[in-house]
Structure 1
C-alpha cells in the first residue's frame, strides 16, 4: 500500500542528501512509526524548502511497525534510535526490556478540548445503549495493551466489568473491525478516523463511548529516544528537532492544509477527499511545538498498572523525559518570528 510513498520519500531524501557538502557525515536517525496519518513521521521531511539541516546535520530513515510493542524489541536490538510509544509501551520498555529511553516530543494527543477522541462504536440497531449492555459481548481491540485497549478496559472497569468474566476481547486489525461488527462477529470495537465519522454519519453506527470518556485527555502517542543516542549526537539532534518541529507546524498550518493533505494522501495512495478530517478539529490534537503532555503520560501508566497490564509502573519525570530538544527548537523558531 505504501510502495509509491516510500519511493517518493526515498527520492526526496536522496536529493536532500546531495544538496550540499557537509563538514561531517550527517547522523542517520532511524525512527519507528506504525500509523498514518496520525504519526506523520514518514512525510514530515518531504518539504526540502522548510528543512534547514537535512542532509548536513542529519538524515531520517522511517521504519514501519505494526504497532508500538514491536518497537521495544527493535530499540533493544539497536535497530531503531527513536520510537512511537504509548504510556504502557514506555513502561514495558523500561521495566521489562531495561531500556534507558526518554520522552522527547509529542506525536498525537487524544481528547483535548475541541479535538477528536478515539471512538468505540456499536451498530445503531444492536440494542446496546450502555456499557453494562456489553456484558457477555465481544469487543474488538487492535492489540492487547494498546492505548485504545487500555481506554476500553478502563471504561469497563469503571462499570464493574472485567475481561473474560464479563466480556471477551478479540484482537483485530483496525480496518477489519467494522466488517466484523457487521458480520456479527463483534459487538463493539475501536474505529479510527475517517471511518468513524463516515460510519456514524451514515446512521448505522453510534458511539457508545470515547477514550476521553474513559480516561480523560491523554498523550496517546509520543516520540521516545535512546538516552545514549541523544547524548552522543546532541548537537546534530538539536538541528533535527528544529526541523522536526518546523515541519510539524507547516503541516498543521491551515494555510498549507490543501497541500499537506495531498502529501499525506499521496503517501497513503488514497484520494485526498478520504482524509477530510486531517489537520482539522476532527483530528487528534498536536502541540504547536511538539511538547508532550508528561502528566497524562504518567496518568496512562498508572491506569495500565491498575488494570494489570504492566507489572509495575515508573515515574516519568524526571528520569524518563528530556524536553530540552523541543524547548530549544521552540526558542529557535520563535527567534525567527515564526
Structure 2
C-alpha cells in the first residue's frame, strides 16, 4: 500500500513538473519609471489569470529603453519597454521588427510633462534668454532630448550654436542648477515634486509645448516571437491591461508596488502617482498610434530620423484581443 502511495505521489509530481515545463516563458525587459503595470505583475503575480498558466515571465531590468532594444535585436528579450525614438532607431539602424502592443504613459496638457527649470531668481525668462547658456538634458539621443531640441528650434534658438547642451540625467539636474553648473535642467517625477517642495526653482518650459499628447513609453514585442506565439503575447497583453485597470480603480496598488521596486517612500509616491501630477495613462493601454506617427514625422522632418516610418508597420491589432 505504501509503495502504491509513493508511486502515485511520484506520478503526480512528475505530471505537475511536466505541466510547469510546458508553460512557455516570455522574456521581458523593464526599467524605471512609468511601468507600474509591470511592477504589479512582478510583485503580485497571483492577481493575474494568465500569468503562470498561459505563460510565465523571466524579468530583466535595464537602465533605459535603448539597451532593451539592443537586447531584443540580439534575441535576448521577447518583449520590452520602448520609446518612440528607441524603436525607430532600432528599426532603421539594425532592422529591429517589433509590434507596439500596449501603451504605458503619455504626456498631455492635463497631466505631467517633462519640463526644464531654472533658479527662482534667474534672469532667464524666455527662450531668447537661453542664448549663451548651458542646458542640461537627461541623455543624448533620448526622446526627451530630441523634443528639447525641437522646442529650442521652434523658439529661435540654434541648439548647435546658441547654447551648450550637457548630460545631467534627471536625479542630479536640480543640484546642477542650484550650483550653477547648468542654467536650465530637466525635471521628471519624482524629482520634480521633490524640488517643487524644496523650492528655489521655477519652470521655464515644458515638452507639452512641442506636442500634446505625446507618447512617452510603450510595450513592444518581437514580431518574430509574436508571429510564432500570438496566444502567449495576447495573454501577456491582457494581464497588462488588467493591471492598469486595477491600479486606475485603486492607485494604492501602484504606490505599493512602485515603492517596492524603486524603494521610494510611499508618502512621496502617493502625492503624484495616478494623479494629474503624473504622466497620463490610457485605462486599456491602447497605443495612440496617431501620436506616435506625428512624433516620427516631426523627427524625420527635423533630420533626427534618417528615413520616414509608418507606425502601422509596428502594429498587429489582434494581439490586443481577449484570449479565449
TM-score, normalised by the number of residues in structure 1: 0.85
2:53 paired residue number: 56
1:153 paired residue number: 149
Task: List aligned pairs for 1:10-89, cutoff 5 A.
Answer: 22=19, 25-38=22-35, 40-89=37-86
Within the candidate set 280, 285, 298, 2:293 is matched to 298
Structure 1: 4+ residue segments shifted above 6 A: none
1:236 paired residue number: 232
CA distance in 1, matches of 2:115, 2:231: 41
CA distance in 2, matches of 1:267, 1:328: 29
- Asked if 1:326 is matched to 2:323, the reply is no
Are the counterparts in 2 of residues 53 and 243 from structure 1 also a CA contact under 8 Å? Answer: yes
Q: Residue 96 of structure 1: SS of its match in structure 2?
A: helix
Within the candidate set 268, 277, 283, 2:272 is matched to 277
Are the counterparts in 1 of residues 32 and 262 from structure 2 also a CA contact under 8 Å? Answer: no
- Asked if 1:313 is matched to 2:308, the reply is yes
- Asked if 1:104 is matched to 2:134, the reply is no
Are the counterparts in 2 of residues 154 and 215 from structure 1 also a CA contact under 8 Å? Answer: no
Q: CA deviation at 1:73?
A: 1.5
Task: List aligned pairs for 1:172-191, cutoff 5 A.
Answer: 172-191=168-187
Q: Would the alpha carbon gap of residues 92 and 104 (structure 1) be closer, same or farther in structure 2, given more than 3 Å must change?
A: same
CA distance in 2, matches of 1:327, 1:114: 29
CA distance in 2, matches of 1:238, 1:40: 15
Larger Rg belongs to: 2
Per-residue CA deviation, residues 124-159 of structure 1 (Å, 9 max, x unaligned), is: 111110111111111111112212112211110101
Structure 2: 5+ residue stretches without partners: 1-15
Q: Residue 245 of structure 1: SS of its match in structure 2?
A: helix
2:8 paired residue number: none
1:129 paired residue number: 125
Are the counterparts in 2 of residues 45 and 247 from structure 1 also a CA contact under 8 Å? Answer: no
1:15 paired residue number: none
CA distance in 2, matches of 1:163, 1:21: 59
Q: Would the alpha carbon gap of residues 72 and 197 (structure 1) be closer, same or farther in structure 2, given more than 3 Å must change?
A: same
2:258 paired residue number: 264
Higher helix share: 2
Q: CA deviation at 1:200?
A: 2.9
Q: Residue 44 of structure 1: SS of its match in structure 2?
A: helix
CA distance in 1, matches of 2:17, 2:317: 30
2:10 paired residue number: none
Q: Residue 215 of structure 1: SS of its match in structure 2?
A: coil
CA distance in 1, matches of 2:162, 2:36: 34
Q: CA deviation at 1:212?
A: 0.7
CA distance in 2, matches of 1:72, 1:37: 17
CA distance in 2, matches of 1:303, 1:146: 15
1:90 paired residue number: 87
CA distance in 1, matches of 2:58, 2:207: 31
1:216 paired residue number: 212
Q: Would the alpha carbon gap of residues 115 and 327 (structure 1) be closer, same or farther in structure 2, given more than 3 Å must change?
A: farther
CA distance in 2, matches of 1:272, 1:20: 39
Task: Number of aligned residue pairs: give it.
Answer: 308
Residues 49-58 or 33-42, more deviating: 33-42
Q: Would the alpha carbon gap of residues 114 and 98 (structure 1) be closer, same or farther in structure 2, given more than 3 Å must change?
A: same
CA distance in 1, matches of 2:84, 2:103: 12
Q: CA deviation at 1:298?
A: 0.9
Per-residue CA deviation, residues 18-65 of structure 1 (Å, 9 max, x unaligned), is: x99837622222222222244542333422342101112111222222
